[in-house]
Amino acid sequence: MENLDEPQSDHRGEADEVKSPAIPALAVQFFLIPLIVVSTVAAVYFGFRVLLDDERTPSEYLNDIRVGGRERRWPAAYELSRLMDNPDIQLEYPELGSSLLRAFEGSDGDDPRVRRYLALAVGRLQSPPPDTIERLVNALDDADSETRISVIWALGSLGDVSVVPELQRVYGSDDAGVRKMAVYALGAIDGDSQMVTLRTALNDVAPDVQWNAAIALARHGSDYGLSVLRRMLDREYVKKIVDPEMRAGTNIDPVAEVMISGLQAVSMLEATSLQAAVVELSKTDQSMQVRQAALEALDVLRPES
């Protein structure tokens, strides 16, 4: 996911949340992230989309967020978060960052859905206002756990190294979804000060937090989580943790998504110690997507001379 994809509200069974069209590119595509926003709400959202016109401007969405009714504000916030994925929008509306931040500040105590989507929109800012990080950090203790997850995602997307201590703090949460996103965000931020926390997360009680930690470490060039990556390549192991059923209305195989993420991390590390397992997956796994990912990993693990 180059540029973060979006956060899902079931905080334990979402290890399969590798891809979502709404999460920004900063997320590096092999990260497993909690998709709180799109996966759990999109189906309901489309029932309300008729309330909104196509080709609307950011100002119109912001106006709906400020003065619209309850069932108009959160769809407007959702649409605005999607709109922010287009870099041209920010060039066309240079004051949008400040307006978004004011709207996010004003959403405190409002419908949590509005605040979650606005946090995601803020996280997509290419040139955030100077006080953006401070405002987001202040929201890390929001009463709504999914809002906290969206805020953590936004901080990871913006990539400011100054937030590492705060993200390490929220990793201490009792909420596995919060911990998972904190690990994800720490992996998306450059630097080494978070390495101890990422290594600690390899032993988290939630397997999908462990997976995110192993992938985050791989992104930082560390093979410390290699044993966790090995387990991610084991379909039978992953099936015990992730619901193997296809997501309703999609062709997404949650088990395959975890395995593909593991394969991508193995490829990044050039982990030849796992080559035999990768070869086996390339030949025998039931998912053609997994087989293809395994073949791509083998191109790195045993490049042609």
- Judge if 247 and 208 occupy the same domain: no
Same domain, 131 and 240: no
Q: If you ran DSSP here, which 8-state letter would residue 49 be given?
A: G
Identify whether residues 148 and 262 lie together within a single domain. Answer: no
Cα(62)–Cα(211) distance, rounded to whole angstroms?
A: 37
* Residue position matching structure tokens 């066309």: 92
**Shared-domain flag, residues 132 and 276:** no
Interacting residues of 294 by C-beta distance below 8 A, sequence separation 6+ = 263, 278, 279, 281, 282, 285
Shared domain for 65 and 158, answered yes or no, is yes
For 222, left (φ over 0), alpha (ψ -120 to 50), or beta? beta
Neighbours of 234 (CB within 10 A): 15
Q: Same domain, yes or no, for 217 and 240?
A: no
d(CA 148, CA 178): 7
pTM of the model: 0.82
How many separate domains does the chain show? 2
Do 137 and 86 fall within a single domain? yes
- Considering 179, 198, 225, which residue would you say is the last residue of a domain? 225
Same domain, yes or no, for 258 and 188?
Answer: no
121, 258: one domain: no
Ranges in the chain, pLDDT < 50: 1-6, 8-30, 34-53, 305
Residue type for 110, please?
D
Q: How far is CA 4 from CA 60, 121, 248, 258, in A?
A: 26, 12, 23, 16
Of 204, 225, 246, which closes a domain?
Answer: 225
Boundaries of domain holding 120: 1-225
Residues 220 and 286 both lie in one domain:
no
CATH of the domain at 166: 1.25.10.10
Residues 162 and 291 in one domain: no
pLDDT for residue 33: 53
Last residue of a domain, one of 225, 259, 294: 225
